[in-house]
Amino acid sequence: MDVRDQINAGMLRCVRTGMTLALDGKVLVTGDGQSRYAMARDAVPIILKSEDDIQKLLEQNTEMEDEYNSPSLYQRIRNYFYKDFSSHDFIAVLDTVIRNRPANEAIISIGGGPTRDGPNVTNLNIGPFPNVDIIGDAHDLPYNDCVLDAIYCTAVLEHLREPITAVQEMHRVLKPRRQVLSVIPFMQGYHGYPSHFQNYTLSGHEYLYSSHGFKVISSGACLGPVVAMTNLNAQFFLEYMPPVLNVLLGRGMQLLGLLLRPLDRLLEKNPKRHILASATYVLAEKELV
């Protein structure tokens, strides 16, 4: 379901008053006309409590905007070669819960873009990046209660000051018995997009959802220990070695990591894989109250 259909179905709401939003020309307005939200590029709703606060946040660290809007040659090469080495279990869940859903269902990807993880996925992000459909904040999702069929949230919660608030918001907007697929890094170094507050163990990741109205359906390592160890070593060299040497050793370790990443496939059924996982996933279902 695209954004225009969501608007017509009365699914979007004002994040200041909680009132349903309707389209008035090229502006979204509440029924009383007191709250109005503009559209970026005449089609992308900007539904934020404070657009200025988000803009300041992005200006503090431009790395996210640079990679989304104008990736460097190195980033493009890296993205090409570093294809998805996620576990088969995770990919199967992603296909079932997110990618292969009916066109009339409402599915959002929090932090989505510049790619799209499914043909019917609505990308929600804090900036007007490529393939972003709604500009919003995970702490204040611009949706009415119990309207979404699925949520995908990958590599987002570690960047939020209040991840619990975001999980509570996911619970609020999901229909009962519908699911969220969450991915959070564990054994990864600091990466500010545009800031970085916490990583999670698998048990911590599970508890984040199970303690806020969700039932954990499945979970595990999304990216395994080989990815974790090679990436951490590469970051060590890039951050702490002298100039020139840092690039040679860092990029060399990244190349070695690329060559070794298939070894993670051999560890997929190892029950201890999550202990040094680069990232973990949780599939959680909203329980009936």
The residue segments making up the domain with residue 175 are: 53-224+267-286
Domain-embedded: residue 277: yes
In a domain, 26, yes or no: no
- Give the whole-angstrom CA distance, residue 230 versus residue 207: 28
Residue 260 lies in a domain: no
Whether residue 255 lies inside any domain: the answer is: no
Q: How much is the average pLDDT of 205-232?
A: 97
Share of the chain above pLDDT 70, in %: 90
| Position 61 confidence tier, pLDDT thresholds 50, 70, 90 | low
Mean pLDDT of 206-210: 98
Q: How many helices (H) and strands (E) does the chain have?
A: 10, 12
| Apex 159 CA angle, 232 and 179, nearest 5 | 105
Do the beta carbons of residue 17 and residue 28 sit within 8 Å?
no
Residue 81: pLDDT band with limits 50, 70, 90: low
Residue 18 lies in a domain: no
In a domain, 251, yes or no: no
More confident residue, 159 or 63: 159
How many domains are contained in the chain? 1
Q: Is pLDDT above 80 for 83?
A: no
Q: Are 65 and 129 in contact (CB under 8 A)?
A: yes
Residue 57 has pLDDT above 70, yes or no: no
Model confidence band, residue 65 (pLDDT cutoffs 50, 70, 90): low
Q: Per-residue pLDDT tens for 135-185?
A: 999 999 999 999 999 999 999 999 999 999 999 999 999 999 999 999 999
**pLDDT of residue 225 exceeding 70:** yes
pLDDT tens string 272-287: 999 999 999 999 999 9
User: Amino acid identity, residue 124?
Assistant: L
- Does the structure show a pLDDT above 90 at 206? yes
At 78 the pLDDT is 66
pLDDT tens digits, one per residue of 106-138: 999 999 988 899 989 999 999 888 999 999 999
* Mean per-residue pLDDT, 19-42: 93
Selected residue with higher pLDDT from 82 and 137: 137
Task: Report the largest interatomic distance among the alpha carbons of the chain, rounded to a whole angstrom.
Answer: 62
In a domain, 11, yes or no: no
- Tell me: pLDDT of 220 over 80: yes
Residue 36: pLDDT above 90? yes
Examine residue 7 and state whether it is found in any structural domain, yes or no: no
* pLDDT value at 17 more than 90: yes
Mean pLDDT of the chain: 92
Reference 227, options 184, 258, 193; nearest CA is 258
Report the percentage of the chain scoring pLDDT > 90: 78
Average pLDDT over residues 22-41: 93
Query: Which pLDDT score is estimated for 82?
Result: 60
CATH of the domain at 199: 3.40.50.150
Rounded CA-CA distance 178/97 in Å is 9
Which of the four pLDDT bands, split at 50, 70 and 90, describes residue 105?
very high
For 167, the token pair is 């999980």
pTM of the predicted model, to two decimals?
0.93
